[in-house]
Amino acid sequence: MPPPPREDAPERYPIVITGLVNQFGEQRVHDNLELKVRRGEILGVVGGSGTGKSVLMRTIIGLQQPAEGNVEVFGRSITQAEPDEQIGVRDRWGVLFQGGALFSTLTVGENVQVPLKQFYPEIDKQLLAEIARYKVLLSGLPEEAVNKFPAELSGGMKKRAGLARALALDPELLFLDEPTAGLDPIGAARFDQLTRELQETLGLTVFLITHDLDTLYAICDRVAVLADKKVIAVGTIPELLETEHPWIQEYFNGPRGRAAADQKGGKGPSRSRSQFKAMDKRAKRRA
């Protein structure tokens, strides 16, 4: 009989973070942070402003060298590799940075081509254009968007263009840093739906930083909470509600948290509970 897979095997946990310390001068942002992301889940990452959510994402993708600790992605250590060292995993993720960060002098199509050119410099022009067009459509943008410049797009369309670029390399892992910030509620809900659809059809694992309680309820399988320089809890929202931590209680049980839960599950508490159950089920399915 083959041995059972290691508890933290990369097939189960594409991201494993241990003992992470990030520090800027005197300011310690992360202190002995631990986190494991399950394969195929949408993990919501929440925390107050400045708690280090974006720094955590940058550390996972190797843009930020931590002071201590280890980050493994698909079983390869990112922290022990040089930023430009070939370790065979950097083309297996896609990133939508906070604010979108499209190149303003490039069209949407050209923006999507950037990572393709970086990893596959030999691809011919026509194929590049074809792949870019396909990713733009996949992200729910109309065909004409391919030749538009970022300044010609609405906020929601810019986010989709950023998503198209993040999907350029057919990633297994998708990082989204506050993708619905600045969108109106309808635009945000549509973007959430798109994220869920892409996650399901493409089999993605999604690391989703958000402030948006509606997003957490609507599409996240589990939620990781950053506070006190650590991930203080990770679980489904019902599981998180069982912890006593004041930030968690205030966040989910404050007026906005309740409104999001009610909106999602209908009016009465019983409907909210059924929503919780659906979330629990989703998380168990992926466990």
Ligand X SMILES: Nc1ncnc2c1ncn2[C@@H]1O[C@H](COP(=O)(O)OP(=O)(O)O)[C@@H](O)[C@H]1O
- Nearest approach in angstroms of CB 104 to Mg ion is 21
Please select the residue that binds Mg ion; options are 54, 77, 243, 249, rule is CB under 5 A.
54
Piece in contact with ligand X (CB under 6 A), picked from 8-16, 43-51, 247-255, 267-275: 43-51
Opening angle at CA 188, ends 136 and 146, nearest 5: 15
**38 near ligand X, rule: CB under 6 A:** no
Q: Which is nearer to ligand X, 34 or 242 (CB)?
A: 34
- Measured distance CA(214)–CA(76) in Å, rounded: 34
Residues β-bridged to residue 44: 208, 223
- Nearest approach in angstroms of CB 177 to ligand X is 7
Instruction: Select from 94, 70, 96 the least CA-distant residue to 15.
Output: 70
Piece in contact with Mg ion (CB under 5 A), picked from 34-42, 82-90, 93-101, 126-134: 93-101
- Nearest approach in angstroms of CB 99 to ligand X is 11
243 binds, among ligand X, Mg ion, none (CB under 5 to 8 A by kind): none
66 binds, among ligand X, Mg ion, none (CB under 5 to 8 A by kind): none
Residues counted in the chain: 287
Q: Which is nearer to ligand X, 43 or 112 (CB)?
A: 43
Instruction: Select from 251, 229, 235 the least CA-distant residue to 52.
Output: 229
Q: Which is nearer to Mg ion, 56 or 146 (CB)?
A: 56
24 binds, among ligand X, Mg ion, none (CB under 5 to 8 A by kind): ligand X
Task: Quickly list DSSP for 82-96.
Answer: -TT---S-TTSEEEE
- Nearest approach in angstroms of CB 106 to ligand X is 25
- Measured distance CA(159)–CA(140) in Å, rounded: 11
Residue 284 burial (CB < 10 Å; 0-12/13-18/19+)? exposed
- Nearest approach in angstroms of CB 169 to ligand X is 24
Instruction: Select from 240, 231, 206, 210 the least CA-distant residue to 22.
Output: 231
The single residue listed with the structure tokens 């060292």 is: 85
Please select the residue that binds ligand X; options are 15, 16, 29, 128, rule is CB under 6 A.
29
Instruction: Select from 141, 197, 187 the least CA-distant residue to 164.
Output: 141
Site residues (CB under 6 A) for ligand X?
A: 24, 29, 47, 49-55
